[in-house]
Chain A
Amino acid sequence: EVQLVESGGGLVQPGGSLRVSCTASGFTLSSHWMHWVRQAPGKGLVWVSRINTGGSSTSYADSVKGRFTVSRDNAQNTLYLQLNSLRDEDTAVYYCARAQGDGAAIYDVWGQGALVTVSS
């Protein structure tokens, strides 16, 4: 079965750090660009970041640029999102999402989501 399983969410204080992981199974992670999308409580979907197949090219939403870092370990079939200098407004469910085969930002497989809560 093709799936993405996330881990690493939790409660963190403002200014703190957290790393969310996304492990792929049922397909070869290295064949796909991968994205992170977040959803604040009761709100809509917002794109956060993306990384190309080899990890050499990344892109970020302006709201997280300089604070978040996306990376991948294709040998371990795992995608990461490092969240630093966290703010209250970063509280959200973070989803990893697989881009369809040609790299287009069409998300055909999603993780179950990891809740990150930023609060003192």
Chain B
Amino acid sequence: DIQVTQSPSSLSASVGDRVTISCRTSQPINNYIHWYQQIPGKAPKLLVSSASTLQSGVPGRFAGSGFGTQFTLTITGLQPEDFATYYCQQSYLPPPIFGPGTKVEI
């Protein structure tokens, strides 16, 4: 199976900050990486698909980038509602694998 890692596992930030979350895969996966946001007690929500495609309704302060084995989710101008856990997930080869998550907290 493809291994997916994320860093950092958690970070502290303030409203208005720029936050960067990294995701790395154990082998090249082109752009088959997707990012989800999960607020405690809620289901995950798809933010970015295929490394950089922002989903409809997702604020423009979220941006994804990367190709191959290294990917990044950037939040520019952190808002109170952005404090959550973020997961990347590969779909290049089955089974789909999620990263361990990055918790963004105050």
Residues of A participating in the B interface, judged by any CB pair closer than 8 Å: 35, 37, 44-47, 59, 61, 95, 100, 104-108, 110-113
How many Å from the CB of A86 to the closest CB on chain B?
Answer: 21
Q: Are A107 and B95 closer than 8 Å at their CB atoms?
A: no
Q: Are A110 and B44 closer than 8 Å at their CB atoms?
A: yes
Q: Are B43 and A105 closer than 8 Å at their CB atoms?
A: no
Classify the secondary structure of A's interface with B. strand
Q: Are A107 and B46 closer than 8 Å at their CB atoms?
A: yes
Q: Are A105 and B96 closer than 8 Å at their CB atoms?
A: yes
Given A45-B44, A106-B91, A107-B89, 13 further pairs, Cβ under 8 A = A37-B44, A44-B100, A45-B38, A45-B87, A45-B89, A46-B98, A47-B96, A61-B95, A106-B46, A107-B44, A108-B46, A110-B45, A112-B43
- Tell whether A35 pairs with B43 under 8 Å between CB atoms, given A44-B101, A104-B91, A108-B55: no
Q: Are B43 and A113 closer than 8 Å at their CB atoms?
A: yes
Q: In the complex, which residue of chain B has the Cβ closest to the Cβ of A35?
A: B96
List of A residues within 8 angstroms of B38 by Cβ: 45
Q: How far is A44 from B38 in the complex, measured between Cα atoms in Å?
A: 10
Q: In the complex, which residue of chain B has the Cβ closest to the Cβ of A47?
A: B96
List of B residues within 8 angstroms of A107 by Cβ: 34, 36, 44, 46, 89
Q: Are A47 and B45 closer than 8 Å at their CB atoms?
A: no
Q: Quick one: which of A44, A95, A113 has the most chain B CB within 10 A? A: A44
Q: Does B74 have its Cβ within 8 Å of any Cβ on chain A?
A: no
Q: Are A111 and B43 closer than 8 Å at their CB atoms?
A: yes
For chain B residues 39-84, which have a beta carbon within 8 Å of chain A?
42-46, 49-50, 55
Q: Does B97 have its Cβ within 8 Å of any Cβ on chain A?
A: yes
List of B residues within 8 angstroms of A113 by Cβ: 43
List of B residues within 8 angstroms of A112 by Cβ: 42-43
Q: Are B98 and A45 closer than 8 Å at their CB atoms?
A: yes
Q: Are A47 and B49 closer than 8 Å at their CB atoms?
A: no
List of B residues within 8 angstroms of A61 by Cβ: 95
How many Å from the CB of B21 to the closest CB on chain A?
Answer: 14
